């Protein structure tokens, strides 16, 4: 007769381990842990990618706190004097003082046009300024040949600026005020071009110059309308 041992009713000792949650990684480098929220990618990224890709592969909103902080530590771009365009156009401190209302008007309109153009970066603004300068150079020579950029965003900025200038000319004429001279507009545009060269941080999607315009030409209802001193230019 076979002898059997006691029958055990106990279950096998099996330990069930719950799967560990996946480790979050920065979507840019796919290596490091994300440390901060990036509104440019609408997600979390690591601080190193934030610094390396800021305005390079990421289109950073101007209000991003990390971009604002980075601006405070950016060194101004050193411009080689020999590479500055339109060096024959003299823009003195006296000229800027005498034409400060015109500078405020053109700077404000340039900022307004830039903020209204999706995807605009500093190089687009530079292209627009270059085409405007070429246009007003020909006007000074007695010819009228409007140069437009092949860059579509820059072409849009060019058109908006021309519309603003023509609107100002019309307003001055209606008020029998002293008309704007092409040389005055040219000098002011050249000054803005030189500021752009100085403020441009060299990043492909950089908007440091546009930020500069925001600081010096704040968009308020008062700044969007020609002021009384401007009519006396």
Question: What's the pLDDT tens digit per position in 8-66?
Answer: 555 555 555 656 566 789 999 999 999 999 999 999 999 999 999 999 999 999 999 99
- Give kind and range of the element (H or E) at residue 45: strand 43-45
CB 119, CB 40: distance < 8 Å:
no
Distance CA 47, CA 34 (A): 7
- Residue 223 confidence (pLDDT): 42
Distance CA 84, CA 211 (A): 22
Average pLDDT, the chain: 87
Q: Which of 1-5, 76-80, 126-130, 208-212 has the lowest mean pLDDT?
A: 1-5
Reported as a pLDDT band with limits 50, 70 and 90, residue 132 is very high
pLDDT at 166 over 90: yes
Q: Long-range contact list for 56-62, CB < 8 A, 24+ apart?
A: 56/203, 56/204, 56/205, 57/28, 57/205, 58/205, 59/119, 59/205, 60/205, 60/207, 62/207, 62/210, 62/211, 62/214
pLDDT in tens, 173-213: 999 999 999 999 999 999 999 999 999 999 999 999 999 99
């Amino acid at each position: 007769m076979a002898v059997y041992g006691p029958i055990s009713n106990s279950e096998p000792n099996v330990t069930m381990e719950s799967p560990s949650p996946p480790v979050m990684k920065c979507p840019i480098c796919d290596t490091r842990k994300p440390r901060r929220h990036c509104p440019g990618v609408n997600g979390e990224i690591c601080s190193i990618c934030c610094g390396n890709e800021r305005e390079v592969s990421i289109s950073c909103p101007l209000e991003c706190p990390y971009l604002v902080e980075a601006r405070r530590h950016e060194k101004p771009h050193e411009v080689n004097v020999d590479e500055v365009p339109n060096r024959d156009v003299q823009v003195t401190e006296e000229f800027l003082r005498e034409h400060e209302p015109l500078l405020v008007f053109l700077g404000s309109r340039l900022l307004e046009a830039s903020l209204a153009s999706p995807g605009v970066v500093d190089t687009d603004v530079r292209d627009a300024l270059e085409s405007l300068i070429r246009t007003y150079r020909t006007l000074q020579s007695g010819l009228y040949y409007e140069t437009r950029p092949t860059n579509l965003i820059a072409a849009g900025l060019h058109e908006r600026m021309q519309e603003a200038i023509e609107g100002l000319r019309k307003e001055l004429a209606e008020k029998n005020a002293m008309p704007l001279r092409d040389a005055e507009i040219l000098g002011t545009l050249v000054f803005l071009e030189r500021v752009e060269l100085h403020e441009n941080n060299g990043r492909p999607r950089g908007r440091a110059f546009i930020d500069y315009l925001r600081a010096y030409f704040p968009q308020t209802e008062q700044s969007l309308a020609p002021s009384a001193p401007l009519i006396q230019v």
